Amino acid sequence: MIAPVLIAKENVPAVLPLVEKELAQVVETFALDNCAYSDVVASLYDCTRQLWVTTDDLGQLRGWTVTRITATNGSRRLMFDFLGGKDIDKMLECLPYIEAWARQYDATETIAYARPGLRRKLKTKGFRHVCDLVVKPLQGQVH
């Protein structure tokens, strides 16, 4: 297995075009209006989020993820914000490398929002299901 590559902010302009269409779609679909694609890109440049990529033996992009370190109640967590690519399983094989990086920044836990298919895959990596997020659009006018 080839280890994941953490893309330095100086290299984001060169790598982002390889993932931007899918990343934009994933952000639009799953961010639930918590952030816009432009916010994600800005956070890659200011290093509050990290872009990781995996490649195959020929150097072709196979998977990517966007992470960040969050601080809650005095503890730090590695947060997987977005995940994608042609081979998500390959990206998931790289979790130990990314988690080792996060431990350098005092992260003690890894969290991710995941739909059922990804949740099943994450369970095999030691994740436990904590809750489900449900969403309902409000309709009608305010009186």
Residues 40 and 12: their CA atoms lie apart, in Å, by: 12
pLDDT at position 1 is 55
What pairs with residue 48 in β-bridges? none
Q: Is residue 138 part of a domain?
A: no
Q: Is residue 51 part of a domain?
A: yes
| pLDDT score of 33 more than 80 | no
| pLDDT score of 30 more than 90 | no
Q: Is residue 17 part of a domain?
A: yes
pLDDT at position 31 is 73
| pLDDT score of 69 more than 90 | yes
pLDDT one-digit tens code per residue, 102-130 = 999 999 999 998 888 889 999 999 999 99
| pLDDT score of 100 more than 90 | yes
| pLDDT score of 39 more than 60 | yes
Look at the chain and report how many structural domains it folds into: 1
Between the CA of residue 19 and those of 35, 54, 82, 107, what are the distances in Å? Answer: 18, 12, 11, 26
Q: What is the CATH number of the domain that holds 89?
A: 3.40.630.30
pLDDT at position 7 is 96
Q: Is residue 44 part of a domain?
A: yes
